[in-house]
Structures are given as C-alpha cells and as structure tokens.
Structure 1
Amino acid sequence: MNDDCFINEGCNRPKLSGKKHDPFLDIPVRPYINLQNNLLTSTTTSTTTTQTPYDQELLDLIVIPVSGKRCPITLSTTTSTTTTTTINPSYLAGGLKGKFNTSSDSISTISQGDVGINLPISNGIILTNINYQNAGDYYSFMAFGYFRPPVNGLYTFSTFSDDGSAIWLGVLANIENGRNETNALLNNNVAGAQGATKKSTSIILTANTFYPIRIVHRDGCCGDILVFSWSGPNIEETTDLTEYFYYDR
C-alpha cells in the first residue's frame, strides 16, 4: 500500500484467496542462538548393592585377606538413573496471549516491537490461532508467549498482513528494549504501509526448548488483516496454536 492508499478510505485491498499456500522456494534460513529453556529437569540416581551372607558352600571361594576376616561375596551392583522433565508451572499450554491497542502513540514505536503493551500481558485474550481482519483502523496488536518445538529441525513462520507485521523469537522477544526491524526473525514491512502481503522465514530450532515469541501488527486505514502460520518437521503449514504454544499464567 502506498502512502496515498494509506490515507484513502476508498482504496482497494487484496483479499484472502482461500487457496492453499504454495511453499516458498526462497525462504531464508537463519540459525538462532538466543535461547531460553524453561524446562524444569531433575535427575535421581540410585545404587543398589546385593550381598550374600556367609555360606559354607562358598567359603572355599572367598579370599581370606591377611587380616583373617572372611569377606562377603558381592553378587551384583545395580545403578539406575531417572530423569524427570516437567514444564515450568508458570506456563499454560494451548495458545498465545494477545491484546489490541488503539492508541496512535503505540504505532510510532512498532518497528521496535513496542505497541504500548507491557509484559506480562494483563487482561489479554488467549488465542488458539491468530487470524483476523476488519478489526478497525489505526490500531496495533501484540501476541506473546512461548513456542516449544517437538523435535529438532527446521521451522517456518509466516505472517500475512495489512499493514505491517513482525516476529521476534528468543531473548529479544521478551526484553524491554533492543528490538528493531533488523533483528526481527521476520520483518513483513512492520513500520510501513502495505496491502495484504505474506512473508515467511525459516529457522533451525532445538526440541523441548521454550522460545519466547512476540508477534506484532499495526494498521492504518483502508482495511486490515493478520494471519500467523507456522510449519515444522512432519507438520504442514497451520494456524493452530493449541499445541506447542504456551502463555504466561
């Protein structure tokens, strides 16, 4: 969307086609090193030793040391290790927490992922998917939570938005500042005006690591839309957030 369209209520906007998304052939792949693992892991090790009492039939097999004392025979030694992994109790499974902000001040700092909503999000809505349009004009939106990859591998994240949107993943997603358009995992013209546009990026992630994720969207006028989707190893592109996504209590 050009600047004229941004202020023209009568401009035309692309509509969702409803067609199945064809995979992008030129999606950038980015390694990511800013991790935050909030799994709680405890390891318990136990050792069990079984000994025989003195047995007349075995006495001849027992080596009698210089002290003259007979030693019991050790039949077996068993060592078992149990590792228990639980999810951080401050997280709830089943989606991300989101909130809208109608303040025009928040739009001015959208390029830093700041939409005037503090963490943890209070009075937010739990989102099992992010797929909305015609929510109004001159507003911003943020969703925040955690993504826990089920397996190691390559994951793809996408936004389809009018106007701009962006995604930050990892430590940058939940700090107070330090974000910008350059270090966003995905920058879909976050600070600009545009018609409905889809952009995707891929990243290699580690299984069972909780990655903070921040999704932001802003709209000026003349129509609006945001669709967030993702895919991973053996997971086709989906908007479903009921699995592998968590939010703060």
Structure 2
Amino acid sequence: MPRQEPSLLVSIHDVSPKFEGKVDRLADLVSRDMPAPHYAMLVVPDHWGDSPIRAGTPFASRLRAWSDAGVDMFVHGWFHLDRSEHDGALAKFKAKRMTAGEGEFLGLDHDTARARMADGRKLIEDIIGRPAVGFIAPAWLYGDDAMRALGEEGFALAEDHIKVWRPATGEVVAKGPVITWASRSRWRIASSLAVAAVARAALPRRPWMRLAVHPGDTNVPALTDSIARTVASLSRGARFARYSELLPAAGA
C-alpha cells in the first residue's frame, strides 16, 4: 500500500462577528501559500452571549461566501463560555487550567449539550446552504454528557487535542497533537512559541498534521510571525488538505 503524502489541516477558531477583522487577518495569514482556501472555520453562533450571528446580516453573507469558496465550516459550541459547576478534580482542573473559562461543553448536561449542538447546526447550515463538516467543542473539551449527545446528533466529524474522529462510529481518522498558540499570559505566549519552534524543527511528517489559530493571536506580533513560519515549515513537503476529505465516502 503506498505511503500517504503528509497533509496539513489548518483551522481558524472562534469565527464570530465580534472578531471579524481578526478572522480576516488570520485567513490572509494562513492561506498565503494555499492554491485555494484549504482551511476550516469554527463558527460560534453567539460568542459570550453578546455577538449573535443572524441570517440576513452582512456577516452571515460572508459565512456563505467563505463556504461557497471551499472553506470547511464547523459548529463551535454556542456561547464559547463555561457557566457550569464542575464535579470532580479532573473536570475542575480542565476548566481552570486548560482554558480561560471557555470550555462550554465540559460540564453541560446531556439535554442542554444536544440542544445547543442542534441549534448551532441549524443556524449555520441554514446560512451556508450545506451541511456543516462537524462539531468541535470550545477549547476541545467535552464532558461525558456532551460526548453522548455528540454521538446522537449525527455530526460527521469531531476533534479534540489529539485526534479527529467520526462520532457515529468512534473511528479515528486523523491522529496527532494539534499545534496552537495562546495569548492570554506571558508564560503561555512563551510556551506557544517554544512548542511551535520545536514542531518546525523536529515534528515528524505525519499522514495528517493539524494547526489551529485564534483571533487573540493577532494581538501579539511574535505569535503571528510564529504562525506564518510554522505554516510555511509544515507545508513544505506536504499538501494543504481539507477536513472534508475525512468525511465518510458517499454510500459508505
């Protein structure tokens, strides 16, 4: 069986009217060497409850245009804000240390999680006129109830820090840690820059590699420089791919 050419998946998180200008900057940054817009957008229906996406607005028209151009669209939670009370040491650790209060689906009960998934899907699919490629929880954090709801809701793809999988079957279709950046503190910035530098120098070329960027990255010139260098480095000897390539084949 021939060896698969290394493929790079790029995603822009937290796509919302609140960050429209920053999303534009990120799209320009990651697509400089792409022959077409081979990246994904993770769309938040109402970021923090104060930036709702509404059909018929200019931003909704932009989502449709991006999708028509070939950008893969994911549902990315609903509020991107964690208001849950967490039980257990592990959940509390994830909620506090792995995100800045944005792990929306970490502590939701099953019914609430499924309702937000369904509502987000309907909103986004009605706007773009085609199925969403999948669902990715804010901060890549899923509680047990959210995982159960995800399997029931019928999304074709989902993703966490280490893999992409098909919720209907549990089949893992891409493995490996996602390379990302964090801008909310000096030590997180320094850590992000260090990890990206190691990835550029030493990351083995895998069948599927993933890179994710966030609007806050544009606030720190060192991060945007690192992102540009990392995209260029990882795409050398690889190809830009779309998440939609991981979808089940029609009729499969």
Fold agreement, TM-score > 0.5: no
Structure showing the higher strand proportion among its residues: 1
Bigger relative contact order (CA 8 A; separation at least 6): 1
Q: Please give the TM-score of this superposition, normalised by the length of structure 1.
A: 0.25
Larger-Rg structure? 1
Structure showing the higher helix proportion among its residues: 2
